[in-house]
Amino acid sequence: MTSHPQRRSTLPTHFCLSIDGLLRLFFIAFGLGYFLILWFSFLLDYLFAYPMCEICLLQRFLMFLIVVSSILGGLVVSSAQRLGYVFLCANGLLVGLGLAFAVAHLHMMQTVTSGGASACQVVSEMAFIPDFLSEYFHAHYAFVPCDQVKSGFLGLSFPMWSLLIYGASAIVFSLVVYLVVTQFRSRSFVARIREARWFAWCRLVFTMVLVILFCVWISASIYVIMNQRNIIYRPERYTTHDADLLKYVDVVDYTLDMGPQQAYAFSSQKHIPKHKAQADTCKLWIVLSGRDAVALNGYVGKPYWRRLFEAVTSDAQVLLIDYPGFGANAGSPTEKANRDSVLAAHKAWREQRAFSATQSCQVYLLAHSMGTGVAVDVARSLPDVHGVVLLSPFLSIHDMVKGVLGGWMAWTVWPFLWDRYPTVDRLADLHQAKPQVPLAIFHGDQDFVIPVWHSQNMVKTNRWIDYHQVSGLGHSKDGFADHQLLLVMQRMMGAVAD
């Protein structure tokens, strides 16, 4: 009887996952997972008409980028493993950025309770979304702050879902990075886990936490550095509806290297006789807006500001200035361009009013928000400055970043800031060079865009400042247009007694 050798089983006795296989599995899981999350979120919008805020839109945009990065990573990892590592890092940075925005969103929802601001609005101050995407969604969706509608799914708010999704993704990503870096295989990994002591588990947990924090830190830093001017400036352009406001002003044309510019001279009597404009007691208020406002609809289009300007123009004239890239102006805003714009507009106004080079005109500056940094910078350069009024000022861009992202993040991005606006330092320089120039600050105690501690710290180091803290007021400049502001402006001009 012939005996046949016993065939050995060709089935593997254990499962071993290579690094390439681990990366492919990661890309498939992330790509498919985030695609399903995006699809399900839009399905909920369609079925239940859930509202969306600016941060929810940004989170979906980040998820879309993760899907794209995962697809590309899955396609190239087999043929080019190093390129696969690049897409792995890209996914980690996107997850870290989404996690940072989710934490900031939830934190502000707990912090912002009053003052006319929403948590979504405060966080969106740091958000930048491509124009084509923003315009499309604004045309198809009603944007409502999450903290106003209290909508959610399965009892959790959408910001909380974002935190859970990105938090779980960060854990998975950090575990994959740990496996890739240590060159583990599934078999050896299981064997080591069975033999591991407490310090091995601590090393694993510590590495994962370190990877998550590193991704959040680097991704948020890169985001702020690359988009810093899009975050600082939100240029608004004029539309055909704003043309009706030109009846209140005279257009002052001037030119910068970047192209033609326009400023607007407001007066209750538009055409001022030249002999009055050239009088020795000539006084001019230069008015500067914030980062997302323009002169016509931001000031002239508001009845309460018009009334205030009409009261001021009984003793002075008012010149409202748009920054480069704002309103009808060419170019793009920068710290230097904004300062040059104010100086050039002032020169053009003098020429339009037929001032000679030797005739003087007392200049006063009124500025809000980002414009306060421009105003203090300009005040050091104009020789005829006789007073400055700042509404909701900030210490510096560095301190703004510190207040939003924390001190450690602020010091990371500080060397890469293009526009710094060191307002508090320039205030000290201004007072040293021109100690006779009075300066007043108004700030609402419910301002969550530029918190009131910015002004409080300014006053602590500059006791000469006339400080007015307005109870219950947020960041909007419209609440400042009252009798108290008018009284301060008139007192600076000497129109009323102290």
DSSP state of 244: G
Beta-strand relationship, 283-288 and 362-368 = parallel
291's CB contacts (< 8 A; 6+ apart) are 232, 233, 234, 369, 370
DSSP state of 9: P
Residue 262 β-bridge partners: 253
Whole-number pLDDT of residue 115: 43
- How many residues can be counted in the chain? 498
Query: Which domains, ranges and CATH numbers included, belong to the chain?
Result: 19-226 (no CATH), 240-493 (3.40.50.1820)
Largest Cα separation within the chain, whole Å, is 132
Whole-number pLDDT of residue 126: 58
Tell me the pTM. Answer: 0.74
Local confidence pLDDT in tens for the 498 residues of the chain: 555 555 544 444 444 567 788 888 899 999 999 999 888 887 877 776 666 677 777 788 889 999 999 999 988 888 888 888 889 989 988 998 888 888 877 776 666 544 445 555 555 555 666 666 666 666 666 666 565 555 555 656 777 878 888 989 988 888 888 788 776 545 555 555 555 555 566 677 777 788 888 888 888 788 788 878 888 888 888 888 888 888 888 899 999 999 999 999 987 554 444 444 444 568 899 999 988 888 888 888 888 898 888 888 777 889 999 999 998 899 999 999 999 999 999 999 988 888 777 778 889 999 999 999 999 999 988 888 999 999 999 999 988 888 777 777 778 888 888 999 999 999 988 989 888 999 999 999 888 788 899 999 999 988 889 999 998 888 888 888 888 888 999 888 875 444
Tokens, residue 452? 């009131």
Whole-number pLDDT of residue 270: 46
76's CB contacts (< 8 A; 6+ apart) are 83, 84, 87
Rounded distance between C-alpha atoms, residue 410 and residue 400, angstroms: 9
How many CB atoms are located within 10 Å of the residue 152 CB?
14
Whole-number pLDDT of residue 319: 93
How many CB atoms are located within 10 Å of the residue 134 CB?
17
Rounded distance between C-alpha atoms, residue 436 and residue 474, angstroms: 31
Whole-number pLDDT of residue 15: 46
Q: 439, 390 in Cβ contact below 8 A?
A: yes
Rounded distance between C-alpha atoms, residue 198 and residue 490, angstroms: 72
Tokens, residue 268? 């209750």
